[in-house]
A and B are shown apart, each in its own frame.
Chain A
Amino acid sequence: MDPNSASNLSFILDKPNSVSFADRPVPSIKSPHDVLVGVNYTGICGSDVHYWKHGAIGHFVVKDPMVLGHESAGTVVAVGDEVKTLKKGDRVALEPGYPCRRCGPCLGGKYNLCPDMRFAATPPYDGTLTGFWTAPADFCYRLPDNVSLQEGALIEPLAVAVHIVKQAAVTPGQSVVVMGAGPVGLLCAAVAKAFGATKVCSVDIVESKLEFARGFSSTHAYISQRVSAEENAANIKKEIGCPDGADAVIDASGAEPSIQTSLHTVRMGGTYVQGGMGKSDINFPIMAMCLKEVTAKGSFRYGSGDYKLAVELVANGQVDVKKLVSETVAFKQAEQAFAKVAEGKVIKILIAGPNEKLE
């Protein structure tokens, strides 16, 4: 892929429900620590769809046209003068958020909390559904030969799952319940397994998702019913054979009933991690948290070591991310792909880069 002759066609959100394709100037390397990458594949995330439909998430509002996409893998086409870890031709998974490196959170090892984070496809920054992308070299992770570029595009959601499971501090032999069997929930189950959990239960309201979960990484599955949170929790505990509750419960749904069920499912002294995003304010079983001395933590994006571990988990065969890809489409089919994701009938759709030739 030659940046001088290849296309830099980009998929742009102009305003809610209105997208277009346009050729953008190929970006240039501005820092000696940066690399220029030709984007090969990009997965679609719920957040991309949310911006498409609503034009905002929380206080992030799309004010100007913005290129979408942030779950990408690509091939290095040029490197800055001080880059020693990558060379032209290396295939990489792209970490799409670049912190300032100078604030307290950055210097303290929590760069995901940097207040000046520049994140692809979070306004006002453009995303990766484009031909070429610049990034600091330390935010590009070389894919070993046995990991494909399509798998590389799944490293981003896998890194999200790695971060969540690290927050949950899952250790070998533990029991873990994951609310939500969408891509992140499925990957959390897989990572929990990789961290040594012996019981991993996926919970969802859609039977087909649970069926997939059973075939993927989960040892148990439970379909949520329209009963109280305590009753659902009792059923889950029975299902997994843990009368005292699960060591760790992860919410990857953002749904209020799931969060409530979570607090009744976790054991005394256990850990609860909020990964999913739904309503901003909910009714929370705070008494359960207090009486059971539950450690409750949030989880946001990914930080130091998460991408590296995600690549290792795929390379070692511990997480089979390929299974999550429902379909791969050509770049010009991007809008249709977004529509399919919005309908909720697929797991992951990958959009090939504008210079990618699909068989």
Chain B
Amino acid sequence: MTERNPAFVLQSIRNVTFEDREVPKLRDEHDVRVHIEQTGICGSDVHYWQRGRIGDFILNSPIVLGHESAGTVVEIGSKVKNVKVGDRVAIEPGVPCRHCDYCRSGAYNLCADTIFAATPPWDGTLQKYYIVAGDYCYPIPDHMTAEDGALVEPVAVAVQICKVADLRAGQTVLVFGCGPIGALCQAVAKGYGASKVIGVDISKSRAAFAEKYGADGIFIPEKSSDPNLDPVDASRATAEKIVEQFGLGEGVDVVLECTGAAPCIQAGIFAARKGGTYVQAGMGQENVVFPITTACIRALNIKGSIRYTTGCYPKAVELVASGKVNPRALITHRFKFEQSLEAFEVVKKASEDTLKVMIEGVQ
């Protein structure tokens, strides 16, 4: 019987099916084919399924979903040097063009022609086999499981966020959001030697998880009982409470905003010390009320962070391999490939006790 390639495909908005596809072929001598073993689901996968677009990326034709994967290399192109058949690898899902000015200057996460798994129009990794450029596969040591390997992707996102923040040992760090990205940022920050890492979330259970995971302390903001309180003033009050409660002096050195929620964005600016750094990683509303005068007067460095750049994946593998970051602890649900739709429904439901949902590859 000829080898087939089962795939989990988003046909159109809210319409997913399984397809029996052909085994994909290498496109050139630099490609490899990976037998996918584990895939984590990200909010963006669910968003394309439910809304069919994120920004200018619009679903116009069917795409295979999934982009947080690891597997075993089964075929390599003639010019591939960094991996061999049989290697277990974490896959970096966005391969840039390598020719544009962004690529040539080291900012390949900004390349407009990036081929990114499960971003329309490109197929993702929820299929038996995935084709990718060999240099975007990173071997993982034997003691890392395929689940660890698949979760290198969100760890790499956290590594990039900390890179953009220019996080240094001895700094104080405030992370808004204790979901997978926020929790991983807290763990990576600790791994980098941050002196104090505080996690913030409105969910008691997520905050409790973060406290056991990477944070030195957690804060759960309470909803204000005063209906007349201006929301931005409420955010400022939250920030002041956090800074006081955790002895953060004039404010934290670094704020990592991993929720995209307006109250967190505002509180983040108010919690940063003069000359501090604020990094926007979370995505929520496109436009929010922003304390811009505070940002100005405090001479804050405010930066955006998107995906990952050179060195993030190797760093992420190292952090996991050395035990400094344990992504497996984030896994709350595990499904077989045939249960992919059920897995997506769990992520869509977004219950606060759901962190990372994994889908096993096709055997």
Interface residues of chain A, those whose CB is within 8 Å of chain B, are 33, 101-104, 106-111, 136-138, 303-305
Contact = CB atoms under 8 A, between A and B. Distances in A.
Nearest to B82: A102
A254 B107 CA distance: 33
B50 interface: no
Given A102-B135, A104-B310, A109 B105 contact: yes
Contacts of B135: 102-103, 107
B101 interface: yes
A108 B310 contact: yes
Interface of B: 30, 98-101, 103-108, 133, 135, 309-311
A138 B107 contact: no
A110 B133 contact: no
Contacts of A101: 98-99, 103
B101 A305 contact: yes
Contacts, number: 42
User: 8 smallest A-B Cβ distances: which pairs?
Assistant: A109-B106, A108-B310, A304-B105, A101-B98, A102-B135, A107-B310, A304-B104, A109-B105
A305 B310 contact: no
Contact of B106 (A102, A110, A137): A110
Contact of A109 (B99, B100, B107, B133): B107
A107 B104 CA distance: 7
Contacts of B310: 104, 107-109
Nearest to B133: A102
Q: Is the interface of A mostly helix, strand, loop or mixed?
A: loop
Contacts of B99: 33, 101, 136-138
Contacts of B107: 109
Q: Is the interface of B mostly helix, strand, loop or mixed?
A: loop
Given A33-B99, A107-B106, 12 more contacts: A102-B98, A104-B311, A107-B103, A107-B108, A107-B309, A108-B106, A109-B104, A109-B107, A109-B310, A138-B99, A304-B104, A304-B105
28 contacts: A33-B99, A101-B98, A101-B99, A101-B103, A102-B133, A103-B135, A104-B310, A106-B98, A107-B103, A107-B106, A107-B135, A107-B310, A108-B309, A108-B310, A108-B311, A109-B104, A109-B105, A109-B106, A109-B107, A110-B106, A111-B104, A136-B99, A138-B104, A303-B104, A304-B104, A304-B106, A305-B101, A305-B105
A103 B104 CA distance: 12
Contacts of B105: 109, 304-305
Nearest to B81: A102
Contacts of B311: 104, 108
B30 A102 contact: yes
A175 to B, nearest CB: 28
Contacts of A107: 98, 103, 106, 108, 135, 309-310
Contacts of A304: 101, 104-106
In this complex, the member of B100, B101, B104 whose beta carbon has the largest number of chain A beta carbons within 10 angstroms is B104
A304 B100 CA distance: 10
A302 to B, nearest CB: 11
Nearest to A305: B105
Contacts of B100: 138
Nearest to A108: B310
B83 to A, nearest CB: 12
A293 B173 CA distance: 30
In this complex, the member of A104, A108, A136, A305 whose beta carbon has the largest number of chain B beta carbons within 10 angstroms is A108
Nearest to B30: A102
Nearest to A137: B99
Nearest to B310: A108
A107 B98 CA distance: 8
